[in-house]
Structure 1
Amino acid sequence: MPVVTLYRRLQGRLPSWEPAPRAALIRADAGPLQAQRETLDVVCALLTEANVPYFCVRPLPNRPPVIAVPEDDRTRAFAALAAGGHPLFAARQPYGRQGARARQADAGRMRPVRRAAALLGDAKVVRLAMYFASPSRTLMLGPENGCDLEFWAREGDELVAPRPNPACDRVPADGPDVDGGEELFTPLACAARRARAYRTRPEFVRRLLDDIDFPIDAVYTWVDGGDPAWRARRDQAERDEALRTGAPLSEMATTEARFTSRDELRYSLRSLLMYAPWINRIWIVTDGQTPSWLDTTHPMVAVVDHKEIFTDPSMLPVFNSHAIETQLHHIDGLSEHFLYFNDDFFLGRPLPPRTFFEGNGITRFFPSTVHVPFGVPETEESPVHAAGMNNRRILENLTGRTITQKLKHVPYALRRSLMYELEGRFAAEFAATARSRFRTSRDISVVSSLAHYYGYLSGRAVPGTVDYTYVDLSLPKTPAKLRRMLARRRHDVFCLNDTAPTTVDQDALLARFLDAYFPTPAPFER
């Protein structure tokens, strides 16, 4: 087969940390959603061509798409798949309790459909998969992004499901077919940008209690610390601030690491589009800067200048993320529900919207094991800890409850209306922080702490869980950790940061890692 031959010619070029996979189709837009769509489309097309009855079923969370076929048509379904002759099509039984022959088919050797069908016995569920790879061969997609073929048993006038699903366990055998949007069957798809519809039954198109069918935007704050014009503004502001206060600014508020750009934004956006393609729009908040590689004409992305969102633009420029974050909800056109990212946040594997939101709009937050220190903010060296102390004071005065934990450095799920409510209720604190050009011990940290605990105490936010890791780029053990992360891809989210200046070699290592982990360009990259 040409694809198999092409892949074999390219073996040996894989990085040492990536295991050599079986033959794969090369796709410039390789990603979990692409793999699920393409596999689902192939299966549906083959079944349709062979006149095999089928309908798509809504999957359980964290499951791939599901296609149901009546048990009576099992043999015809396998024949249709085998007749398709797809060179990279394979099948296995993913949930094996159907006998030794079925388990043999699932013993780690993906078999072509024509050979596997005879070994699957009476398996009620079969995983169908195609293998895909990015042009760099550093991203491989296989069975985890395939689709499941379920065989529904006939009982009288009904078809009965072989396992649970979110909607129903039986449908009329001769019930009508309807079309359902792909977001019902592929949870990574964005309902607002519906690209496909699939054959299903009426029972599976109803709006369920926990469906997340509202738009979710993403907001980034970004700065290019190497821009001479920006540096001149910052240096002047530092001199003005030192003259006004009669004392130098805190080193932790002005450290170069806080403003250094290593092209993380490009790859953070790639991670977002690869692993959360359900995001609606992306807003990049900057101080008069635009990444050179960004196509600002693309309808999915917009650059927002600080002047557009600050209530009092006369206080600009500011170089304090706490100040900028108090103004994010002023973005014109921002959706009610949104995620806030720093450019050093990266998604590490597919995450559905319910990772961050409930179907009723409630947000999730992710507490850390790190504590907010007790003490007086004015004596705290870390502006981050001081802001946590100030958040604690606000909530103690309001509710009598004390916060003790920081939050993980992961995307923050927020509601625009709650941010406006906070700004109205604590106007003095918002205004004081917005006026702080550099971080001070008087700041509050709204989007990374206060909004979530306020939401929890008012019944609009709940704790969640996420598999997260933090990487300090300056540590000697970091190269080995990055190799493991790339090989395993098991973290939901990770943060790449530094607590000390990095070397040229460390920066080059980061660039190689990011390009290998996120090789698929976003559609708005020039």
Structure 2
Amino acid sequence: MLVTARLKRAAELLIPHSVRARREEERLRERALAKEERRLARVAQRRAALLESDPGLRSYTVEGAERIGRVVRDYTAAGAADRNLDLVLRALDHAGIDHFVVPGRSPQRHVLGVHRSRRKDLLEAMRELHGDSPLYAVAPGPDGKAAKASAYVDGALDTEVKSGLVIRFAELLLSEHEDEFGGFDHGCDVEFWREATKVLAGDRAEHALDRLRVKIPVGAMDGALLGPRPNRIADVLTTDARTPATLTVRGRELPTFEPFSHRHPEDVGFPVDVVYTWVDGADPAHAAKRARHRGEVVDLATHAANSSRYTDHEELRYSLRSLRMYAPFVRHIYLVTDAQVPSWLDTDAPGLTVVDHRDIFTVPDALPVFSSRAIETQLHHIEGLSEHYLYLNDDVFFAKQVGAEYFFHSNGIVRLPFSSHQIGVGAPIAEEVSPNWAGKNARALLMEDFGATIAQKVRHAPLPQLRRVHRELEERYREDIERTARSRFRHPDDIAPATTLHQYYALFSGQGVRGKYRTRYIDIGTEQARENLAELGLDAPFDFLCLNDFDTPPERQEEVAEMLRDYLERRFPFPSPFERVDVLIGEDDPSRTEVAA
């Protein structure tokens, strides 16, 4: 046996060095591969055990990578961020680690600051409390997106993640369809702040100083804490600035430092309400009333009163869901109707008021009207409505978390949602789309008063409104406002008080500036609508969707309604507090269709 081993070693010495090196490399690679296979097997066992222990968890795949998330029956983007904040706060309190709120640069997540020396303690506390859970630790990239994620259930965290100066902690939240709503973007970021003296004594001191947004003399940094990245106030906290303070975060008091405890100049501090207009054209009483008055109009354009304009696909149900999911700043919702209420709506729900046309029309003999243009002339008369509000049609949906700052500057100036589409020139043409009519009529009024022409339409989005602008319009263009208010159906002589006229008047009068809106409009009655909807996933780069039924042929209405409902139920699956629990989707309740006169 000894001789055989010697002969083998001798034979190996005769093999060329390059061959021996290659074989050794192959052996090392095989060992590494075997080691990785054993690790993956352990990971698979841990994940399987976790999934078996908690029926609320699901395994799913994103871009080829397996993830584990928790199925939830209720979801808001702000709530997802709060949930992850709670997970981190529990660990910080458990380990007795001092921490402070940092004014982060994204509204999607919370940020906490911790001394760099306590990073290991925090990681150990997170492991102790959440090691057998679907919690992830994430290394954020420069754009704030997840650069690398490591699941606690898999064992040791990735070195790049756990050694970072910023670690994001997140539990992923899924709908019952296993779509990921609460992703890594809503995790809680923990920044590890370092002593300036230690940073300045290091080899990369010059690089660290260059990255700071706050520039102060080096001599003034004695005792200061340095943040690992910019925030909204300061990434340098000198000793004298570290006066303890508290900050109310989503209804709870959290520790911070005095410079971080104030409202920022960009933050909107005034209330913002939402106004919806809604109609159920299938209601027999409303349809009969509409048909009766339609016979009185002789010059009605074919699209001015088509059935699609009054068809209800329960879009309002899903628009309210989207508002609750993504617009936590809204104070109150007003639903304006013509003696109707959706059968599924809980009219007693806090935060919601149903308003009848009769309650707001200052020209009551104009009623009934079946034109949104006419209704828009009166919305600012709603009792209790905030000075700044959003006007929505029920086919407009929030698709990403936004704040009031998306629509208004903190000084009250409106961010105007102009479109790239144009009104056109010349006089209104009978069969052109009605926004062209209203835009051309508004142009004539504004040209006379401001000496400038207008060209662009307004986007299909939540439309920011100022009550004082509407009061000015009502006073300045009284004849045009009253004529439009008396227009039962859309007419080429109408103006559009909430869209073209309001937005451009605000611009010309110094009460508004151009804003940036990311919107997607789809006419659901077109042949390509199904394909277009399929492209509107949760990661689509739009903040608002408009799914408009412009003129669906009667023979396709059932098909289109089913397509739209399937999409909306998957995109906005979480019932809002405004829905009655005893009325299912698509179910009618005749007792709730009409509001008693």
Q: TM-score, normalised on structure 2? A: 0.79
Letter in 2 for 1:387: A
Flag the 1:249–1:227 CA change in 2: closer, same or farther, 3 A.
same
Could you list the runs of 5+ residues in structure 2 that have no partner in the other structure? 1-46, 197-221, 581-597
Q: Does 1:375 align with 2:426?
A: yes
Q: Which residue of 1 aligns with 2:139?
A: 93
Per-residue deviation at 1:403?
Answer: 0.3
Q: Which residue of 2 aligns with 1:186?
A: none
1:208 aligned residue (254, 258, 264): 264
Residue 217 of structure 1 aligns to a residue whose secondary structure is strand
Per-residue deviation at 1:506?
Answer: 2.1
Could you list the runs of 5+ residues in structure 1 that have no partner in the other structure? 98-102, 183-193
Residues of 2 paired with 1:19 and 1:302: CA distance? Answer: 46
Residues of 1 paired with 2:334 and 2:500: CA distance? Answer: 21
Residues of 2 paired with 1:334 and 1:147: CA distance? Answer: 35
Per-residue deviation at 1:40?
Answer: 0.4
Map 1:506-517; keep pairs closer than 5 Å. Answer: 506-517=560-571
Residue 25 of structure 1 aligns to a residue whose secondary structure is strand
Q: Which residue of 1 aligns with 2:52?
A: 5
Which 10-residue stretch deviates more, 514-523 or 353-362? 353-362
Residue 290 of structure 2 aligns to a residue whose secondary structure is helix
Residues of 1 paired with 2:224 and 2:407: CA distance? Answer: 37
Q: What are the Cα deviations for residues 451-497 of structure 1, in whole angstroms up to 9, with x where unaligned?
A: 11111111111111122111121222222221221253332111111
Q: Which residue of 2 aligns with 1:189?
A: none
Residues of 2 paired with 1:525 and 1:197: CA distance? Answer: 32
Q: Does 1:522 align with 2:576?
A: yes
Cα pair 2:103 2:231 within 8 Å, conserved: yes
Per-residue deviation at 1:269?
Answer: 0.8
Q: Does 1:27 align with 2:27?
A: no
Cα pair 2:301 2:431 within 8 Å, conserved: no
Letter in 2 for 1:214: F
Which 10-residue stretch deviates more, 109-118 or 488-497? 109-118
Per-residue deviation at 1:145?
Answer: 0.9
Q: Which residue of 2 aligns with 1:229?
A: 285
Residues of 2 paired with 1:300 and 1:8: CA distance? Answer: 34
Residue 347 of structure 2 aligns to a residue whose secondary structure is coil
Q: Which residue of 2 aligns with 1:164?
A: 230
Residues of 2 paired with 1:232 and 1:18: CA distance? Answer: 53
Cα pair 1:43 1:81 within 8 Å, conserved: yes
Per-residue deviation at 1:249?
Answer: 2.1
2:246 aligned residue (179, 182, 195): 179
Flag the 1:63–1:311 CA change in 2: closer, same or farther, 3 A.
same
Q: Which residue of 2 aligns with 1:185?
A: none
Map 1:364-443; keep pairs closer than 5 Å. Answer: 364-377=415-428, 381-443=432-494
Per-residue deviation at 1:168?
Answer: 2.2
Q: What CA RMSD, in Å, does the superposition of the two structures yield over aligned residues?
A: 2.6
Per-residue deviation at 1:122?
Answer: 4.2
Per-residue deviation at 1:317?
Answer: 0.6
Per-residue deviation at 1:382?
Answer: 3.2
Residue 291 of structure 1 aligns to a residue whose secondary structure is coil
Q: Which residue of 2 aligns with 1:58?
A: 103
Letter in 2 for 1:386: W
Q: Which residue of 2 aligns with 1:190?
A: none
Cα pair 1:215 1:279 within 8 Å, conserved: yes
1:273 aligned residue (321, 324, 327): 324
The alignment covers a number of residue pairs equal to 502
Cα pair 1:53 1:69 within 8 Å, conserved: yes
Q: What are the Cα deviations for residues 84-133 of structure 1, in whole angstroms up to 9, with x where unaligned?
A: 12511111211369xxxxx9x94465555962264436422112111111
2:350 aligned residue (299, 304, 320): 299
2:524 aligned residue (454, 473, 487): 473
Letter in 2 for 1:37: D
Residues of 2 paired with 1:352 and 1:7: CA distance? Answer: 35
Which 10-residue stretch deviates more, 148-157 or 495-504? 495-504
Letter in 2 for 1:147: C
1:36 aligned residue (75, 81, 86): 81
Letter in 2 for 1:90: Y
Residues of 1 paired with 2:64 and 2:571: CA distance? Answer: 14
Percentage identity across paired residues of the two chains: 36
Q: What are the Cα deviations for residues 306-349 of structure 1, in whole angstroms up to 9, with x where unaligned?
A: 00110011211101110100111000010111111001111112
Cα pair 1:91 1:113 within 8 Å, conserved: no
Which 10-residue stretch deviates more, 153-162 or 43-52? 153-162
Which 10-residue stretch deviates more, 109-118 or 256-265? 109-118
Residue 272 of structure 1 aligns to a residue whose secondary structure is helix
2:510 aligned residue (433, 448, 459): 459
Q: Which residue of 2 aligns with 1:120?
A: 161
Residue 348 of structure 2 aligns to a residue whose secondary structure is coil
Cα pair 1:82 1:114 within 8 Å, conserved: no
Letter in 2 for 1:265: L
Per-residue deviation at 1:177?
Answer: 3.4
Q: What are the Cα deviations for residues 280-300 of structure 1, in whole angstroms up to 9, with x where unaligned?
A: 111110001111111111121
Residue 24 of structure 1 aligns to a residue whose secondary structure is strand
Q: Which residue of 1 aligns with 2:181?
A: 140
Per-residue deviation at 1:498?
Answer: 2.7
Per-residue deviation at 1:446?
Answer: 1.1
Residues of 1 paired with 2:91 and 2:57: CA distance? Answer: 30
Letter in 1 for 2:86: D
Per-residue deviation at 1:511?
Answer: 0.6
Residues of 1 paired with 2:418 and 2:142: CA distance? Answer: 37
Q: What are the Cα deviations for residues 23-44 of structure 1, in whole angstroms up to 9, with x where unaligned?
A: 2222221231121000001101
Q: Which residue of 2 aligns with 1:191?
A: none
Residues of 2 paired with 1:338 and 1:3: CA distance? Answer: 46
Which 10-residue stretch deviates more, 252-261 or 494-503? 494-503
Q: Which residue of 2 aligns with 1:48?
A: 93
Q: What are the Cα deviations for residues 242-261 of structure 1, in whole angstroms up to 9, with x where unaligned?
A: 3xxxx252222111111100
**Which of these two proteins has the greater Rg computed from alpha carbons?**
2
Residues of 2 paired with 1:393 and 1:150: CA distance? Answer: 56
Q: Which residue of 2 aligns with 1:187?
A: none
Q: What are the Cα deviations for residues 186-214 of structure 1, in whole angstroms up to 9, with x where unaligned?
A: xxxxxxxx533322222122122111121
Which 10-residue stretch deviates more, 153-162 or 165-174? 165-174
Flag the 1:20–1:234 CA change in 2: closer, same or farther, 3 A.
farther
Residues of 2 paired with 1:342 and 1:429: CA distance? Answer: 23
Residues of 2 paired with 1:420 and 1:399: CA distance? Answer: 18
Which 10-residue stretch deviates more, 224-233 or 53-62? 53-62
Residues of 2 paired with 1:17 and 1:504: CA distance? Answer: 34
Per-residue deviation at 1:61?
Answer: 3.7
Q: Which residue of 1 aligns with 2:547?
A: 496
Per-residue deviation at 1:5?
Answer: 2.7
Letter in 1 for 2:246: D
Letter in 1 for 2:119: R
Letter in 1 for 2:533: L
Which 10-residue stretch deviates more, 427-436 or 152-161? 152-161
Residue 377 of structure 1 aligns to a residue whose secondary structure is coil
Which 10-residue stretch deviates more, 63-72 or 253-262? 63-72
Residue 22 of structure 1 aligns to a residue whose secondary structure is strand
Which 10-residue stretch deviates more, 215-224 or 41-50? 41-50
Q: TM-score, normalised on structure 1? A: 0.89
Which 10-residue stretch deviates more, 318-327 or 118-127? 118-127
Q: Does 1:195 align with 2:241?
A: no
Cα pair 1:28 1:134 within 8 Å, conserved: yes
Residues of 2 paired with 1:297 and 1:172: CA distance? Answer: 52
Q: Which residue of 2 aligns with 1:308?
A: 359
